[in-house]
Homo-oligomer: A and B are copies of this chain.
Amino acid sequence: MSDEKSFHMTPDEFRRYGHTVVDWIADYHSRIESFPVLSQVKPGEIRASLPADPPAHGEPFDILMKDVENLILPGVTHWQSPNFFAYFPCNASGPGILGDLLSSGLGVQGMLWSTSPACTELETHVLDWLVTMLGLPDKFLSSSTGGGVIQDTASSAALCALLAARERATNYISNKKGCDGRIVAYVSTQTHSSLQKAAMIAGIGVDNLRSIEVDENFAMRPDLLARQIEADKRAGLVPSFVCATVGTTSSNAMDPIAEIARVAHQHNLWLHVDAAMSGTAALCPEFRPLQKGVELAESYNFNPHKWMFTNFDCNCFWVADRKALIQTLSILPEYLRNQATESGAVIDYRDWHIQLGRRFRSLKLWFVIRHYGVEGLQHHIRRHVELAQQFAGWVRNDKHFELAAPAPLNLVCFRHKAGDAANQTIMDRLNRSGDLFLTHTKLNGKLTLRLCVGQTNTQARHVERAWQRIREEADKLTAVA
């Protein structure tokens, strides 16, 4: 095909090496349980194995793959292992990976409708599907006043929500003015740290981000929220935004959305609901009561890249009033002008997020939904919740352990009764063993272990084995003591 000297990979080479990579990934997933879940390398060890200088000349593809196997793999923490119970999951699946591969192969950049209409329209379509699938309110549908967009992460979605709220309360942007220190935003002490980061970025300042205290279940107290808003208004400040969480990162606490919404709307605040992991549970009607009141939110988001088998990154973000979002983030230089945009008949997603450029991310989400069907997704979510509940039951019935928080879904917060040092030792030893990976939090000042069931291939035997290993390490403690 080429009439000129070229260093490019030919289509035939791409075919050959592509098959190699696909096979490598299939093999990787088949042998993933043979690796320590948490990488055991020391700081600097991976870099030390790499050549100091970039290659002057191209290298054969098989050398690259050998280096992935020998140099990179030891430095990988295996997020896709069924023994990964840390943080929140970041699960993936065959259809998700292959949809993403297609996106890379097509290589389109969907900043405007016209730069690839399918990239925009499939995204709108799939996000409308998800409104139905998750039982979200109709106002989030693109056929209503709202609509959905794929963001990279819940951090970015929260920032966009906060910016739209800032704008609605102040018209800073339409007035071309900078912030003046009067905006106040509200979260709970348990809200994800990305909200603090968003406040820092948006020029609101952490002093004006109020952390409302929580109840005994780590859920925001609407009465304290109301009291704080009133105090702030009396002080001449401008309360503008509150974030409620469906399943906090620390303990999976469920904020009372309906009560928070009542307070928020009495004072004209923008209510953002962060359901980063737990939003996926709403695929199953029986879990929807956990996010009762979601129909009152101005914006909502969850991450299919956490618990819905869609590889990172893929966050779904909806707003009830798309104009409010677009007015906040829209820019239109001459070199982006085009007839479709001027006609007003299309969505240009560049005005829905921080970045200008964007990948064709809806492909992987579409593939996941179509491969599993609603039925398949529900099956696996229910199974994960069931496994976590089983684990919670074992903890409850063990005299050395206790639950540290309610476990409404797939995250169990628990601790050994012997105190912080014991729990730290148990966790460190388990993670160093490579058999599983757990992380921790602090609840009521006490070190608490977290076990989150959400990896694609986690089955009963993995959770059983985790509990067995936890008790083994606990027994060693007792033996030493």
A55 adjacent to chain B (CB < 8 Å): yes
Chain B hits for A5, CB < 8 A = 379
Chain B hits for A118, CB < 8 A = 39, 41, 46, 71-76
Asked if A53 meets B181 with Cβ closer than 8 Å, knowing A59-B370, A335-B441, the reply is no
A286 adjacent to chain B (CB < 8 Å): no
Contact with B along A104-132 (1 / 0, CB 8 A): 11111100011111110110110001101
Closest to A163 in B: B201
A414 adjacent to chain B (CB < 8 Å): no
A317 adjacent to chain B (CB < 8 Å): no
Contact of A43 among B57, B208, B345 (CB under 8 A): B345
DSSP majority for the A interface? helix
Rounded to whole Å, the gap between the CB of A186 and the closest CB of chain B is 15
B9 adjacent to A94 (CB under 8 Å): yes
Those of A1-45 within 8 Å (CB) of chain B? 1-9, 11-15, 17-19, 21-30, 38-39, 41, 43-45
A418 adjacent to chain B (CB < 8 Å): no
Contact of A9 among B53, B90, B95 (CB under 8 A): B95
A155 adjacent to B355 (CB under 8 Å): yes
Rounded to whole Å, the gap between the CB of A65 and the closest CB of chain B is 9
- Copy count, this protein chain: 2
Chain B hits for A114, CB < 8 A = 38-39, 77
- Band of interface residues on A: 35 or more
Interface centre among A91, A98, A156 (most CB of B within 10 A): A98
Interface-side segment among A212-220, A389-397, A452-460, A470-478: A452-460
A180 adjacent to chain B (CB < 8 Å): yes
Contact of A181 among B8, B78, B180, B201 (CB under 8 A): B180
Closest to A191 in B: B333
B46 adjacent to A129 (CB under 8 Å): no
Rounded to whole Å, the gap between the CB of A288 and the closest CB of chain B is 16
The CA-CA distance from A54 to B1 in the complex, in Å, is 41
A318 adjacent to chain B (CB < 8 Å): no
Asked if A108 meets B77 with Cβ closer than 8 Å, knowing A25-B101, A122-B46, A202-B202, the reply is yes
